[in-house]
Amino acid sequence: MYKFIDDNGNTLTKHLQFFKTAMDVLSGKSNYRKLFFGGGIRGGKTYLCLYIVILACRMFNGLRVHIIRKTFPCLRSTVVPSIKKLLDGVEYEEKMHAGNYYFRFPNGSEIHLFSESFDIDKDLDRFKGLETNIIMLEQIEELQEKTYYKAIERVGTYIMKSGTPPPLILSTMNPTHVMWVRKLIYEPFRDNKIPQDTYIQMITAAENPFIPEYLHENWKSMNDLDYKQYVL
């Protein structure tokens, strides 16, 4: 499902460290509750977080996960194809009814796609009564700060009969000038002032060996500012 070693036998060190950190949280060995994976484009951030989510669903019977992005079309066009690729060879059901799109596993665990939809729900009423174990905030720089705090409010509220894992928020981000995200993630990382319940990992495409060389060459034709911000 996921490779932590490239075709030359080299370990993807940062990916593996992020993965191990998440597994320690789920097994109760770590007090981290918020894991942020940020950095340049095509670093493999979303793919790894989705792999962690899928693995958690297979580890715990009846687990509930919610993946949140700004709009439902964004979820369908980016998250769904990656989930299906990771689920190749795995038994699951894909269901959509009454605006609820989710993947269900034989053990009862579910991954729900949940759009923020702030333009039509500025009070975030959609979060009322939401019970979940894990929340993944995809491209957090596109979301509202209010949504982040709603995620903290709702994560871990689904109590499972077979033993409930610790609450976990996973989040991905690209370089951004959105100030609340910079203050939450980038500045603590830069200044070595990360809260005790938070783990932050930064990465670029240079550390993802599965990106073809032609993409690296193509990115060099971007304007200088965008290249430095989004690639380097």
pLDDT tens-digit map of 24-50: 999 999 999 999 999 989 889 999 999
Residues 6+ apart with CB under 8 A from 43: 37, 203, 204, 205, 207, 208
Bridge partners of residue 36, in order along the sequence:
171, 200
**Token pair recorded at residue 199:** 């783990």
Q: What is the mean pLDDT of residues 134-152?
A: 98
1: confidence class by pLDDT, cuts 50, 70, 90: low
- Residues 2 and 129: their CA atoms lie apart, in Å, by 34
Residue 108: exposed, middle, or buried by beta-carbon count in 10 A (0-12, 13-18, 19+)?
A: middle
Q: What is the pTM of this model?
A: 0.94
Tell me what pLDDT residue 8 has. Answer: 87
148 close to 184: Cβ distance less than 8 angstroms: yes
Q: What is the mean pLDDT of residues 151-175?
A: 94
Reported as a single tens digit per residue, the pLDDT across 60-105 is 999 999 999 999 999 999 999 999 999 999 999 999 877 789 999 9
124 close to 117: Cβ distance less than 8 angstroms: no
Tell me what pLDDT residue 7 has. Answer: 87
Q: In this structure, what are the phi and psi dihedrals at residue 85, rounded to the nearest 5 degrees?
A: -65, -45
Reported as a single tens digit per residue, the pLDDT across 150-160 is 999 999 999 99
